[in-house]
Structure formats: C-alpha cells, structure tokens
Amino acid sequence: MRQQGFTTRILHADRRGGTEHGAVHKPIHTSSQYAYSDACELAAVFQGKPGFSYARQGTPTTAALEAKLTQMENARASIVFSTGMAVLAALFTTLLKSGDHLISSRYIFGNTNSLFGSLNALGIEVTLVDATDVHSVADAVTDKTKMIFVESIANPGTQVADLMGIGELAKEKGLIYVLDSTLTSPYLLQGQSVGASLVMHSLSKHIAGHAQALGGVLIDTGLFDWSRYDNILPIYRKGDSAGWGLTQIKKKGLRDMGATLAAEPAHRIAVGAETLALRLEKACSNALALAQHLEAHPLVQAVYYPGLVGHQQHERAKGLFGNRFGTLLSLEPKPHVDCFELLNALDVVILATHVGDTRTLALPIAHTIYHEMGAAQRELMGIADNLIRVSVGIEDCDDLLNDFDQAFTKLTA
C-alpha cells in the first residue's frame, strides 16, 4: 500500500490508535496514579506488562507523544524526558560505566560539552574529534570505546558531521551510534537513514516549535543489536532483545532519576509537532534567503550555513537533507562592526537564546552561551568574538532581510 506523507500520518495516527469519547484531539491525562480493579493486573504492570502505574514512568499523554515521535522517525520506540539535557544525562549514565570510552565531536552543543566534563569525573573517558571527517573518528576508537555521539548540524558553526561514514564505522565496530538530530528534526533527516542506533531530539526546539514547553526524546531506530551490548544489566536481559536498551534507560534513567515530562508540556509539544513540516519548509527557505543576502553584504565577513554553496559540507548536507538546510545560521560581521550595536539595531529579530521558534532570534555567541568555556576553547572551535547566531523563524522573508539591512544602515549612519 502507498505510504501516506509525513504530516498526514502524524495528524491522523492518534485517531487511528483509538479515541476517548470520540475526542478528535488527544485529551491531557494529569492523574499521578493509575488504578486496576484486579490486583493481579496492577502487579502485572509493575512486572513489565504495558500499562500505567505511577506518572513518573509515563502517562497516556506522554505515551501518545512517544507514539507520534516514533512514527516521525519511522523507528521502533521512544522515551520522552523533561528536557533534552535530561535525555543526555540518562543516556550516558545508564548505557556507560566507569572505564568506558565515548567519542564525540569537537563541535558540540555547549551544555553537552559541559556534561562530558561530569562524565569524565565519573570515570567515563570522552574523546572529542573532528567528526566532519570519519577518519578522525575511526582513529579515536579503542577497545574501551562503547559509543559515538554526534550532532547532525553543529551549533553555532553549522558543521555537518560525516553521518553516513560514522554509521558504517559504528556498524563495523559494533558501537552504539547516537545522533542528536535537534537541529535537523525528523522532517529533514531520519536517524536510521544514516545508521544511527539511537536518535535524540530536544523537543523544546523545532518539534514543539512554539517555545512554550521544554522536553526531550530518545528514539531507538531498531538498528542496534542490544543482545551484544555487555552493559545491559542481567535483570533487563529478558524477552525480545530489541527492547533491552530502552528498557534499561527507562528504568534506570527515567524511573530512578525522575526527569519526567509532565502531561501539560507533553500535550503542548504534541500539538506543535503536527505543524513541523509546514514550519520547517518556511523557516528553512527563509534561512537560505537570509544567509545568501547576508553573505553579499559589504559589512559581513562570513556566514555559516550548510545551504550556502561555499559551506565546507554543502554537498554532504544536500545528500543528507535534500534541499532544506536547517533554520540556524551564524554571521560574522567585519571585524570593525560591534556585534552588540548591530543586534541592538534590529527590530523584527528578537534578542534571545533558543532555536527552532516560529520567531527569529539572535544572540552574540561568545558573550552568552559560549562565555563559560573561555577564549582559548572558543578559538579552538572557531568562534569569533563578534559571531552572531540567528535562529530563523517563519516571518515573511522580506521583513527579515529588510531588518538586517536597516540595522546595518543604522550602524553606518
């Protein structure tokens, strides 16, 4: 049978899974606990039968969101958490132990980089390499290596890792390959197409899209053979091995650590997710137009955006994402331009952190999210002092181009 499109499937999946009272839109379930008329049923749920017991481990509302996300990635199963960082903390601490080795990218989200420091303190060694080149990843593999973790498009430099090459390497070496696909979303890239074992998204970004809820998800693509992973505890080596990885993460990382996504934000994220394709079509085309416009401006030194023909991984990005290159660009004005003055002259663009909102947001990277890491580390990552990150929204395109034009004009007046 012909498969329906991305948006049709996610709009109608809830209904086809069965409705409550005929409600066309999923209700929100706020109950903390779930009761059974037969105590044997209650015990069965505690012993692994699908069902709900206590909301820390999930509710019908989080389960509906998980089903939607699994469908978006065409994957096996998902677990949602209270934030994207909660996903990462649970992932690393439940699948890795002291003595294990993790390979990641030198170009990585700042808070993830900071979390790697905490892993080091727990005895988990992290090696950061240039993941745009699969050879540097391969060179870092040791007999202690358990996992490779990379982002699809790096923030703020927009480097695109060799996702395919890393997928092949991970398969050959039997390593868990985790892809943080936050900046691409399942609309631009599905993790299994590059061989990822697990896909992580911050739901706070493109998937919710409205910036009115935080959340994160970890998705099992079904490609990794968990029966061969020796960090799965004996108690979770039961039943179909395809479910072992997520079961351990859910029990140890969600139940025991408690970073649960509450029903209200889960519902808001599910509503936002339904318009993902529409928002990304518009925001990606705005981002490309803005990147090209800025690149041609005499007061601009460099623009980093995978959609630009001069971008180092443009061809790779085209192969991976089709003709959509994401919503994030970074702009380096000429050295004599003060990034604060330029930002303050903007009118439509909002001065705020965050990415993937419907509204366009901008901030001075070195002075905000990359402030804590210090000048030496920033230089290593190629982050100039006046670099500006722009998360492009769905405004009418000309209003964005005009906003930068008028801001530059104000500076030269």
Ligand X SMILES: *Cc1c(COP(=O)(O)O)cnc(C)c1O
The residue among 151 and 332 lying less far from ligand X, judged by its C-beta, is 151
Tell me if 64 contacts ligand X by CB under 6 A.
no
Tell me if 85 contacts ligand X by CB under 6 A.
yes
The angle at the Cα of 12, spanning 10 to 14, to the nearest 5 degrees, equals 85
Q: Pick the stretch among 82-90, 113-121, 241-249, 329-337 that binds ligand X (CB under 6 A).
A: 82-90
Smallest distance, Å, CB 328 to ligand X?
Answer: 9
Report 267-326 residues binding ligand X (CB under 6 A).
none
Report 38-57 residues binding ligand X (CB under 6 A).
none
Q: Pick the stretch among 49-57, 80-88, 257-265, 279-287 that binds ligand X (CB under 6 A).
A: 80-88
Report 106-135 residues binding ligand X (CB under 6 A).
109, 112
Tell me if 205 contacts ligand X by CB under 6 A.
yes
The residue among 51 and 382 lying less far from ligand X, judged by its C-beta, is 382
Alpha-carbon distance of 229 to 406, in angstroms, equals: 57
Smallest distance, Å, CB 294 to ligand X?
Answer: 22
Out of 61, 78, 113, 155, the only residue in the binding site for ligand X (CB under 6 A) is: 155
Tell me if 214 contacts ligand X by CB under 6 A.
yes
Tell me if 357 contacts ligand X by CB under 6 A.
no
Pull the structure tokens for residue 127. Answer: 């090696």
Choose among 391, 243, 387: nearest CA to 302.
Answer: 387
Alpha-carbon distance of 391 to 361, in angstroms, equals: 5
The residue among 194 and 342 lying less far from ligand X, judged by its C-beta, is 194
Query: Nearest to ligand X by Cβ — which residue?
Result: 84
Smallest distance, Å, CB 80 to ligand X?
Answer: 11
Out of 62, 68, 80, 84, the only residue in the binding site for ligand X (CB under 6 A) is: 84
Out of 186, 216, 306, 326, the only residue in the binding site for ligand X (CB under 6 A) is: 216
- Residue 231 phi, psi (nearest 5): -85, 0
Alpha-carbon distance of 153 to 50, in angstroms, equals: 36
Alpha-carbon distance of 84 to 201, in angstroms, equals: 7
Q: Pick the stretch among 56-64, 117-125, 139-147, 197-205 that binds ligand X (CB under 6 A).
A: 197-205
Helix axes 276-295, 6-16, angle to 10 degrees: 150
Q: What are the C-alpha distances in Å from 223 to residues 137, 145, 172?
A: 20, 18, 13
Going by DSSP bridges, is the β-strand pair 77-81/216-220 parallel, antiparallel, or unpaired?
A: antiparallel
Q: Pick the stretch among 199-207, 292-300, 305-313, 317-325 that binds ligand X (CB under 6 A).
A: 199-207
Q: What are the C-alpha distances in Å from 193 to residues 1, 74, 188, 198?
A: 21, 10, 11, 12
Q: What are the C-alpha distances in Å from 382 to residues 14, 195, 304?
A: 45, 29, 11
Tell me if 151 contacts ligand X by CB under 6 A.
yes
Alpha-carbon distance of 16 to 347, in angstroms, equals: 45
Task: Name the site residues for ligand X (rule: CB under 6 A).
Answer: 83-85, 109, 112, 151, 155, 180, 182-183, 202, 204-205, 214, 216, 355
